[in-house]
Amino acid sequence: MRVVSYNVNGIRAAMRKDLIKWMQEDNADVYCFQEIKANEEDIDKEAFASIGYEGAWFSAQKKGYSGVAILSKSQLENVQKGMGAEQADFEGRVIQAQVDGLDIINTYFPSGSSGDERQAYKMKFLADYLIFGEQLLEEKEHLLVVGDYNICHQAIDIHDPVRNKNSSGFLPEEREWMDDWFNLGYVDTFRQVNPHPHQYSWWSYRANARANNKGWRIDYISCNEELKERISDAGIMQQALHSDHCPIFVDIN
C-alpha cells in the first residue's frame, strides 16, 4: 500500500494545476491532503470519484482556511473528524480513517509564524496532540500519523539551521516536542529509508527558494513500531508542483 501526504495549499487551486491528472498517473492507494482551504460542498468531489477515489473531508468553520481530507481507492471505514480539542476541531485539523486494516490519522499542525498568539496556540496544540498520539498507540495496531507537522526535527531537515534557530518551525521547544513524539514510540518513516541531507518538502515562495532547494522538511509520515519492519520505501516527490509543499509517500508491505 502506498500512502501519500500532501499539503496542497488550496485544493481548488491545486486542481486547477492538474492535481487530478497527477493523481491518476501517480496512482497511490491513499492520498492525505492538508490545507484544503475549502468547504466540502465547494469541492468537485466527482473529479476524484471519476479516477477511483472516495473521500472523507473535514473543513474548517472559517471559509478558505485549513482543512484536511483522506482519499482512498479502498473503502474508508471508521471515519472520525476531529481530535476532541475545541479550537483544533473548529479549524478542521485532524481526520482519521481505516483503510484495509491500516489506521491513518491525517493532521494539519498549526503554524506559529504569524505571531506570538499563534505560536502560543501551536504549543498548546502540540501538548494536546502528544496526549492524543499516546492514546492512538494504545488503541491502534497498525498506525500511520501523516501530515504537515510544521516543524523541522533536526538540523539536517532545514537548509540554514543557524540563521533559522529562532524561527517558528525550528525553535528548540518545537524540536524537543519532535523528540518527545518519536520517544513515544513513533518512527520517522522517511529517515528509516533516507539518511541524506538536502531533502525538503516545503519552500518559501520568496527568493527563488525552490529552484535553489533552500527548503524545510516539515511534512512527515510517522508509523508505530509494529509497522516499522513493513516499510519498503519512503520518499519526497519534489517534482510535483501544485503547492509550496510537495508530496511525501510511504510504501507499506
Residue among 28, 21, 165, 25 at smallest CA distance from 6: 28
Q: Calculate the alpha carbon distances from 45 to 14, 42, 92, 140 in Å.
A: 14, 9, 18, 29
How would residue 159 be classed by pLDDT, with cut points 50, 70 and 90?
very high
Domain boundaries along the sequence of the chain: 2-252
How high is the pLDDT of residue 96?
Answer: 98
- Please indicate, yes or no, whether the overall pTM of this predicted structure exceeds 0.95: yes
- Topology (CATH) of 2-252: Deoxyribonuclease I; Chain A (3.60.10)
148 is catalytic: yes
Q: Among 171, 173, 238, which residue's Cα sits nearest to residue 202?
A: 238
From the list 148, 157, 188, 219, the catalytic residue is: 148
pLDDT digits (tens, 9 = 90+) for 68-109: 999 999 999 999 999 999 999 999 999 999 999 999 999 999
> Which tens digits make up the pLDDT trace of 31-61?
999 999 999 999 999 999 999 999 999 999 9
Which pLDDT band, with edges at 50, 70 and 90, does 198 fall under? very high
